[in-house]
Chain A
Amino acid sequence: AQKVTQAQTEISVVEKEDVTLDCVYETRDTTYYLFWYKQPPSGELVFLIRRNSFDEQNEISGRYSWNFQKSTSSFNFTITASQVVDSAVYFCALSEALYGNKLVFGAGTILRVKS
């Protein structure tokens, strides 16, 4: 069965600190996709990244970076030099090949960035 665990319920940092949000997943499928979404206080989920199971290259986009490690079934998200606007709930999600149009979400991590 597919499962996504975000063990950090809430993280508080001070502006300009780096922060890493953890995501661990379980799947029996060899082909799957992993996603990160951001939910700001306005409520609408915003897509950040998609990574397939055959691509373990890390990705960097501005202050955001993602570390995908199949050996530990993890897909962690790091924000460098955090800003107040990064305050949001962040969700990690998994889609298996067999159920390609369904997402399973983690419980989410609340990130609070203080000035």
Chain B
Amino acid sequence: DVKVTQSSRYLVKRTGEKVFLECVQDMDHENMFWYRQDPGLGLRLIYFSYDVKMKEKGDIPEGYSVSREKKERFSLILESASTNQTSMYLCATLRDRFSEQYFGPGTRLTVT
């Protein structure tokens, strides 16, 4: 079974703080993704990576950056957290094109 883990289930940060969300997978998948989930908007893609050190912007990359130094780990960085980044953040992995994505449990981030 694929296992995708995220560093925290709940996180509370202050405006202006630098925030790191970590995602680790154990199935050697090439592709990894970060989404944010907001009520009424579904899941929106922030960034994805198809290989180590490779990254591509998704639909809403503003205010975020990512890092993929090792195949199994994909980090989402909020350089200066703002209240409008309060959301549920979901990490996912993908074995190959058109296969299903596997999701982590999510991190509910609150920025005050």
Please give the residue numbers on chain A whose beta carbons come within 8 Å of chain B beta carbons, in ascending order. 4, 6, 9, 33, 35, 37, 42-47, 50, 52, 91, 95, 97, 100-103, 105-108
Contact = CB atoms under 8 A, between A and B. Distances in A.
B98 A33 contact: yes
17 contacts: A35-B100, A42-B105, A43-B88, A43-B106, A43-B108, A44-B103, A44-B104, A47-B102, A50-B98, A91-B43, A100-B97, A101-B48, A101-B50, A102-B48, A105-B42, A105-B43, A107-B42
Contacts of B90: 45
Given A91-B43, A101-B31, A43 B105 contact: yes
Nearest to A50: B100
Contacts of A6: 42
Given A37-B103, A103-B43, 19 more contacts: A6-B42, A33-B98, A35-B100, A42-B105, A43-B105, A45-B90, A50-B98, A50-B99, A91-B42, A95-B98, A100-B97, A100-B98, A101-B50, A103-B45, A103-B101, A105-B44, A106-B42, A107-B40, A107-B41
Most chain A C-beta atoms within 10 Å of own C-beta, residue among B42, B94, B108: B42
Interface in B72-95: 88, 90, 92, 94
B: contact size bracket = 20 to 34
Contacts of B44: 105
Contact of A45 (B45, B99, B103): B103
A105 B58 CA distance: 13
Contacts of B103: 37, 44-46
A105 B36 CA distance: 11
A44 to B, nearest CB: 5
A47 B104 contact: no
Nearest to B100: A47
Nearest to B94: A101
A105 B101 CA distance: 12
